[in-house]
Every structure is written in C-alpha cells, then in structure tokens.
Amino acid sequence: MEEQHEHHHHLHVPHPDMGPSEPTHTEFHIVSPMTYLIIGGCLLVLTASTTAISYVDLGEFNAVVALAIACMKATLVVLFFMHVKYSSKLTKLTVACGFFTFLVLITMTMTDYISRAWGRW
Amino acid sequence: MDSHTLAAQTGEIGHVEHEHPSFLRHHFENLAQQREAATFGMWLFLLTEIMFFGGLFCAYLIFRNWYYPAFVAGSHSLHIWAGTLNTTLLIISSFTMAMAVHAAEVRHRKPLLAWMIATIILGCGFLCVKGYEWHDEWVEHHVPGLNFNPANLEHGTKAYPDDKLAPDMAQKTNLYFSLYFAMTGMHALHMIIGVSLLTFLLIRAWGGAYTNGHIAPVENFGLYWHFVDIVWIFLFPLLYLISRHQ
C-alpha cells in the first residue's frame, strides 16, 4: 500500500502497470502528415471510382461493389484519420464492439423480416 | 479552473510541491491515462451514434428491397454532382481535421488555427450544397408531409425516360424521400453541431489552450468529425448511386 506522500512523487517512478503492453496503454504516436495526405488521396480515388462504377451495369453487384468501396473508405478513415491503428487494445476492442453490435442490429432485424411469410421475399 | 488554482483555494498541503500540467486532473494517475479515458469515452459515444444511424440504415435496407423501382426513381431525382462534390468536401475536411490534430500534437498554434478554419469552411460548404439540394427537392414536390406529389415520377424524366412508375409504386417514393430527408437531415444536424463545436474550440485554440500538451479536446472532436464523415461515406452510395447505369 503506497503511503500518501509517496503519491506526489509517483510521476518520477516507472510504474509497473503502465507499460506499453497494458491493454489501456499505447505509446504516444504522432501520425505523419504524409500518411494523412496519402490516405486522403486514396479516399478521393475511391470516391471517384464508386461514382464511375455506378454507371456500369453489374446487375445485382452494383450494390455490393458500392458498399464494398464504402467499407474500404470507412476502414481507412477509422484506422488512420481516427488513429485506431496506433491506439491501445482497449480502443481497438471498443471499435470492434461497435461494429459487432451494428451487425447484430442489421442481421437480427433481417432474420425477423425474412422469416415471416408476408410475400415480400 | 485548473488543479493548481483549486488546490490553492482549498489549502491543500503539499500540492504545490509536485509538478504536473495544470490540465491533468487529480483523479488520473498521469496524462496518458487521462487521454486514454477521454478517448474511450468518446468512442463509447460514437458507438451509440452508430446504433442511432444504424436504425435508419436498417429501415432503408428493408424498404429498398420491398419497393426497388420507387427507390431507383427517387435516387435518379438527386443530383449526382452534388453528392460527389459533398463527399469530396467531407473527405478533404477529414484530412484538414487530422492535420489540425497533428498541429496540436506538435504544439504549432498557427497551423492548428489554419487547419481548424479550413475544416469549418469545408463543413459550411457541405451544408450550403445540402441546402441547395433540399430546396431542389422542395421545388419538385418531393417532400413527404409538406408538398409531396409524385406525379412527375409517373412519366419518367429527361435523363431517365424509363422511370415510369405505376401510381401505387410512385406513391411509395414517399418512403425513399422520407428516409432521404431523415438521414441527410440528421447528418446535417450533426454537421451543424460539429461546426459550432469546432468554432468554440477555435476560439479557445486562439488563446493557446490546445498547444500546451492538452490535445484531448481537439483529438476527440476529430473522432466525432471523422465519424460524421463515415456516415456520409455510406449515405452517398446508398442514396445517390442506385442503378445509375440505366
């Protein structure tokens, strides 16, 4: 049990529980502007391609391709602009939980609609 | 009020002997933990936003499956140049916001201010284009509950002469436009809130509040801004690009 007065010198002593391997800790990483520029460029290219591809007849796959490109763009934004690639395990787990819950929302709602014989599907 | 002032007021003994940045609150062990806690909290909020917009996307998914021709006709009535322009503006604004966070991290005040101003301008540009589009839908009688009249969708348009809908399917375009206004409306509300918050942060940054190591507010606002960008990244193909090849 640390004594009260030792707490004030806490910052000068390496704490065994706050190393980079801890799930709530990560090294303070500054992403370079060049990375941002490259990722931004990729996003603009993907935007142009999704608009261009929508004019090509791919039948059912138009929607699939459009959503796939959107997912790629979102992934780039999350990993680099939102720094998740350089974040702690806690942050990464939180983001993953968000996507998982969203998928549950969509799939469980859809199983309800698809399994009822309303003549729509 | 920073922790030194607070401690001085309450007469805490021994506080002034230890050195820590004024913006480090006492219930955190160190700056890294404080930043981590703030970022975690912001991500939890963004998760609730994912579920919020997720409900609207789910409704869109179901009604698009049920009334596909109506959704095609509705989508064709939007201006693809406006949607593409808006997507471009938001992506560039995400870049400028990331650069603002970088400027805060390396403690350069003037670049921070410049990048924040650029983000505000791009966000306002987005809202202007959106306002123009909404006005256009109003003029064409596509606003459910206000002046909705799908008569012009029963005859096809110049660009899409095959967009002839039977009267009952034409009536279903009110579902498409309801979702259009609900989703782009909520997104625009988030943009307005974002631009307002960013203006507040800009004023504080002017006084040097975020170039002294206290980068968490700028970082976490950046997370919010990027999230609003991601919502639009999905809205754009779903609303504007339905079957443009016809």
Q: Residue with structure tokens 């206000």?
A: B146
Mean pLDDT of A77-97: 95
- Inter-chain residue contact B102 with A120, CB threshold 8 Å: no
Instruction: Compute, in degrees rounded to 10, the torsion defined by CA atoms B126, A62, A67, B188.
Output: 20
Contact B210, B218 (CB under 8 A): yes
- Inter-chain residue contact B237 with A50, CB threshold 8 Å: yes
Question: Where does residue A96 rank: exposed (0-12), middle (13-18), buried (19+ CB within 10 A)?
Answer: exposed
Q: Which residues, in sequence order, are CB contacts of A25 under 8 Å at separation 6+?
A: A18, A19, A88, B32, B33, B36
Question: Residue A1 — very low, low, confident or very high, per pLDDT cuts 50/70/90?
Answer: very low
pLDDT at res. B216: 94
Question: Residue A16 — very low, low, confident or very high, per pLDDT cuts 50/70/90?
Answer: low
Listed by number, the residues of chain B in 100-129 with a beta carbon closer than 8 Å to a beta carbon of chain A are: 102, 105-106
pLDDT at res. A11: 47
* Domain extents in chain A: 30-86, 87-121
- Inter-chain residue contact A73 with B95, CB threshold 8 Å: no
Fold of B31-240: Four Helix Bundle (Hemerythrin (Met), subunit A) (1.20.120)
* Domain extents in chain B: 31-240
Greatest Cα pair distance in chain B: 82
Quick check: A7 pLDDT over 50? no
Please name which of B1, B21, B22, B20 lies closest in space to residue B10, comparing C-alpha atoms. Answer: B1
- Residue B123's φ and ψ, nearest 5 degrees, are -65, -40
Q: Which residues, in sequence order, are CB contacts of B139 under 8 Å at separation 6+?
A: none
What's B39's DSSP letter?
H
Q: Is the pTM of this model over 0.80?
A: yes
Contact B190, B48 (CB under 8 A): no
Contact B125, B228 (CB under 8 A): no
Structure tokens at B220: 């976490």
Average pLDDT by stretches of 10, chain B with 246 residues: 67 61 88 92 97 95 91 91 96 97 95 97 97 92 87 76 83 93 97 97 94 93 97 95 79
Burial B131-150 (b: 16+ CB within 10 A, else e): eebbeebeebebbbeeeeeb
Contacts of A8 in chain B (CB under 8 A): 14, 17-18
